[in-house]
Structure 1
Amino acid sequence: MKQCKSLNSRHLGKKLGLVATSTALLLGASQLHAAELEVTITNATKGIYFTPLIVAAHDSDLYMFRTGEQASSELQSMAEGGDISGLSSVISNAGGVVVENPASGPLDPGATTTFSIDSGEFGYLSLSAMLLPTNDGFVGLDSWAIPEQAGTYTTTLRGYDAGTEANDELASSIPNPPFLTFGANGTGVETSISNDKVHVHPGNIGDADATAGISDLDNASHRWLNPVATITIVVK
């Protein structure tokens, strides 16, 4: 397991880091920054669960993750075990606004959660949650620039790999909550980390053999491709 740096902090500039598709229906007049956001997140996978989400409003000097860079220890804890406490502490201590676990537990495949967040004067929105079952995969939104005009904005979210653990897809390497069913005796899809930086996740491989094969994951339910979620943000 790779030792990671602390959460980075630097000027980012306004951008949407994860856009696959994006639409906007403008509903109101221009404003500096809307304080109240209504956020709806839908798990768009067949058989992947999202661990409790962390959602944050923050300024341009702070972010949860950055592709092409090593994961912080706080991001690693979330991506490997679903622990959002470290990310929450770092962002809160830096003055950001944090919403923890808005779905009151894992977000099931096909399920949706809607919640509000008061972004105040902060101009950026980020979120993350571990993807189960994966070794260190997570759904993420990276420093989305909150529009200055009221309206409804929709986009899709990718799954990312934290680069902190080999994607062996073995039950012994992945959290094993009671709602997941694993195979056994897999030999491992990967034996070493192929990219130790945060990057777009290639998805699970899985196999059809519940008692052997290369993976302990079922390719009929645990295989997935990007994107993994949709998000709709109503700027009020």
Structure 2
Amino acid sequence: MSIYNIKGLAPLALVTLLSACGGSDNDTDNDGVIDTPAPVPVEMSYEVTVTNLTYAQPLSPLAVVLHGDSALWTVGEMASTPLEILAEGGDNTELIAMESILASVSGDAPVGPGASTTLTVTTTDEMATHLSIVSMLVNTNDAFTGLTAMDLSSLTVDNPQTWTLGVYDAGTEANSELAGTIPGPADNGTGYIAERDDVDFVAMHPGVVTMDDGLSTSVLTQAHRFDNPAIKLTITRKQ
């Protein structure tokens, strides 16, 4: 058919003819739906450095976790069982395994007095909006330190933020300092015990008493005292 004859075609015939003459440049499937590439997940990475500022209180292996906006502990409220296990015995396994935890990393060794350690936690989960870090002071009954529910939206890449942090009392085990109750090297005693025999709420820790302060039954000495702050924490977003 000559192109000059197209003017004489009826409108419907013209549409049919033009549809048959050319294809579309759109990338479509058989249903005419345009294929859209799946978005590439954005990886977020945070470097966490902790320095132990105490004289004779090793820190249990650090737990660094990413989660939503709920805190892992609140002063004046009951400690969860995973936090109790960590605060009494230094074991962070149950805390890292909590359903609310979206990404985590654990230290593989205690952090000695004056020492530092650095861990990196990474995720692509957009719901991981907050970070917590926690560790036990192992020459105590149930003292722990850390930071919970830190809002990550305030961090920019390679711009570190630093805190100095105090010590909490889990309130799950009496601060008796008795032989057999301190899991650290001052005693090598028992760690977590399920029965709670203290106030049963988290509070700021009053400090240890020790045998040198007149508590004759204590296995701790004045070397095991700690002042606030107990740790220095630096968090840097790497990507």
- Whether TM exceeds 0.5 here: the answer is yes
Residue equivalent to 2:205: 201
Deviations 1:46-68 (A, max 9, x none): 000111111101111x3321211
1:29-75 per-position Cα deviation (integer Å, ceiling 9, x unaligned)? xxxx9811111110110000111111101111x33212111011111
In structure 2, what residue type is equivalent to 1:117? V
Which residues of 2 match residues 1-236 of structure 1 at below 5 A? 35-60=44-69, 62-90=70-98, 93-94=99-100, 96-101=102-107, 104-120=108-124, 121=126, 122-146=128-152, 147-150=154-157, 151-176=159-184, 180-182=185-187, 193=198, 195-208=199-212, 213-219=216-222, 221-236=223-238
Q: Percent identity?
A: 38
Task: Indicate the structure whose relative CO is greater, using CA pairs within 8 Å and at least 6 residues apart.
Answer: 1
Separation in 2, partners of 1:34, 1:225: 38
Would you tell me which structure has more helix in proportion to its own residues? Answer: 2
Shift of 1:148: 4.3
Instruction: State the AA in 2 paired with 1:75.
Output: L
The TM-score, its normalising length taken from structure 1, stands at 0.72
Does the 8 Å CA contact 2:66/2:101 hold for their aligned counterparts? no
1:78 alignment partner AA = L
Rounded Cα–Cα distance in structure 2 between residues aligned with 1:46 and 1:59: 34
| 1:15 equivalent in structure 2 | none
Task: Report the structure number with the largest CA radius of gyration.
Answer: 2
Q: Name segments (4+ residues, structure 1) moved above 3 Å.
A: none
The runs of 5 or more residues in structure 1 that have no matched partner are: 1-32, 183-191
Letter in 1 for 2:76: G
CA distance 1:149–1:34, shift in 2 (3 Å): farther
Q: Which runs of 5+ in 2 are unaligned?
A: 1-41, 188-196
Aligned length: 185
1:203–1:226 CA contact under 8 A, matched in 2: no
The 2-side partners of 1:152 and 1:130 are apart by: 24
User: Deviation at 1:119?
Assistant: 4.4
How large is the Cα RMSD of the aligned pairs?
2.3
Taking structure 2 as the reference length, the TM-score comes to 0.71
